[in-house]
Amino acid sequence: MKVYEICFSPTGGTKKAADMLANEIGKEVQTVDLTDSRTDFSEVSLEENDVAVIAVPSYGGRVPGTAAERLAAVRGNGAKAVLVCVYGNRAYEDTLVELQDTAKQAGFSVVSAVAAIAEHSIARQFAAGRPDAKDEAELHDFADKIRAKLEAEDFSEPEIPGNRPYKKGGGAGMVPKPTKECVKCGLCAEKCPVQAIDKDDPGKVDSKVCISCMRCISVCPHSARKVNSVMLAAVNTMLKKVCSERKECELYI
């Protein structure tokens, strides 16, 4: 049995939570990075006795479209899937059921699902510092329960919350732009999961392609990429009401 971590994590929060689970389920974990636009995901092929922790962030209560497309290309071949949805303390709505459908379409057999919380990648003051020590203890406990289920060869599919048809998706519409501190090093263009930034002129961004994942902001070594401050202030106000009360990790098994 091999353990895989198949993860879409533009700013690292999803990967932190996925690592806490995957490293507790298996000793050696092979990672598949769904943000890498150069990978041919149809060449990623698993076997029936493998286990995959499949982790995505929630974007507007849905699976990010790019993550869904890339995961659908993977060949699950009956491998057991532990689904993970990571969200910024607002809500994850239909993310887990959409991830369930996509993983099954790719040939995985879903044995459990987890919702976890990480720092909100647009408005970073919400869920700041999460997943924290309490989350880590919970996720380790979840991993032990999942491992016990797998060892008992119980491959039943759990009830997972969410609606079908899924809620309407839609981009956040926030396209980060460089500030005058930009030295045109091109790192953001190289790391953009959808190649929306022009390599030769990082000031040029294709706003139709950008998925507002905020990776370009998080990777810039000069803190020279920002979203429009008026839009960000509006998002902060909107999220203040719905993000303030701490939500906890959940396990479906």
Using CB distances below 5 to 8 A depending on partner kind, what does residue 224 bind out of ligand SF4, ligand FMN, none? ligand SF4
The item of ligand FMN, ligand SF4, none sharing an interface with residue 220, based on CB under 5 to 8 Å by kind, is: ligand SF4
* CA–CA gap between residue 111 and residue 100 (Å, rounded): 10
Residues 6+ apart with CB under 8 A from 63: 56, 71, 85, 95, 98, 99, 102
Q: Which stretches of 132-223 are DSSP H helices?
A: 133-151, 187-191, 215-219
Give helix 133-151 / helix 13-25 axis angle, nearest 10°.
40
For residue 9, state whether it binds ligand FMN (rule: CB under 6 A). Answer: yes
Of the pair 97, 216, the CB lying nearest ligand SF4 is at: 216
- Between residues 10 and 162, which has the closer beta carbon with respect to ligand SF4? 10
Q: Which is nearer to ligand SF4, 127 or 210 (CB)?
A: 210
The answer to whether residues 161 and 46 touch, using CB atoms and an 8 Å cutoff, is: no
Least distance to ligand SF4 from the beta carbon of 157, Å?
Answer: 33
Q: How far apart are CA 129 and CA 135, in angstroms?
A: 11
Please give the residues from 43 up to 102 whose contact with ligand FMN meets the rule CB under 6 A.
Answer: 57-61, 86-91
Q: Does residue 56 touch ligand SF4 according to CB under 6 A?
A: no
Q: Contact residues for ligand FMN (CB under 6 A)?
A: 9-14, 57-61, 86-91, 118-122, 172, 212-214
